[in-house]
C-alpha cells in the first residue's frame, strides 16, 4: 500500500501541503524499501530520515498555529508528541530484532498521517482562513 497526496488532503496552507507531500513521498520510499527487503542499513537511514522530517514538519506546523492564536494548539501538539513516542517505540522494537515491527510501523505511519491530515491538520487551515473578527 502506498498513499498519494490528493486535493482532499489539502489544508489550504501551501507551505504545509508541500511538507505533507514531502512526508508522504518519504513514507512511500520507506514502504518500498521495506517491501523490497532492503538491507538493514538502508532501513535504518530511512527510519531516521522520516523521523527528522516529521520533527521538522511538526515544529513548522506548531510555529504556524501559534501566532494565529489557534485554539487547539495544545492538543494538536500533544498528538504530535504521541505520534513520536509510538514511532520511537517501533524503532526500538526494530533495533531489538523485531523485523515485523518495521512493517507494523509503516502501516501505522500511513494510517496515522492520513487521518491526522484529514481530521486534525485541516482544522488549522480553516481557522487561518476565518473571516476577521471571528474566533
User: Site residues (CB under 5 A) for Fe ion?
Assistant: 61, 121
CB of 14 to Fe ion, least distance (A): 16
Q: How far apart are CA 78 and CA 123, in angstroms?
A: 15
CB of 121 to Fe ion, least distance (A): 5
Q: How far is CA 48 from the centre of its chain?
A: 13
Q: Report the residue number, 17 or 61, with the smaller CB distance to Fe ion.
A: 61
Q: Report the residue number, 38 or 72, with the smaller CB distance to Fe ion.
A: 72
CB of 123 to Fe ion, least distance (A): 10
Report the half-sphere exposure of 132 (CA within 13 A, side-chain side): 0
DSSP character string of 67-110: TTT-TTHHHHHHHHHHHHHHHHHHHHHHHTT-THHHHHHHHHHH
Q: Report the residue number, 81 or 99, with the smaller CB distance to Fe ion.
A: 81
Amino acid at each position: 500500500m502506498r498513499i498519494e497526496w490528493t486535493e482532499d488532503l489539502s489544508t489550504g496552507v501551501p507551505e504545509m501541503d508541500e511538507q505533507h507531500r514531502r512526508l508522504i513521498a518519504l513514507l512511500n520510499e520507506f514502504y518500498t524499501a521495506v517491501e523490497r527487503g532492503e538491507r538493514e542499513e538502508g532501513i535504518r537511514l530511512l527510519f531516521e530520515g522520516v523521523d527528522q522530517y516529521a520533527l521538522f514538519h511538526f515544529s513548522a506546523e506548531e510555529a504556524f498555529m501559534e501566532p494565529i492564536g489557534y485554539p487547539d494548539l495544545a492538543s494538536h501538539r500533544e498528538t504530535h508528541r504521541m505520534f513520536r513516542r509510538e514511532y520511537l517505540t517501533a524503532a526500538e522494537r526494530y533495533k531489538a530484532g523485531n523485523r515485523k515491527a518495521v512493517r507494523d510501523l509503516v502501516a501505522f505511519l500511513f494510517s496515522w498521517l492520513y487521518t491526522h491530515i484529514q481530521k486534525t491538520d485541516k482544522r488549522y487551515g480553516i481557522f487561518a482562513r476565518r473571516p476577521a473578527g471571528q474566533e
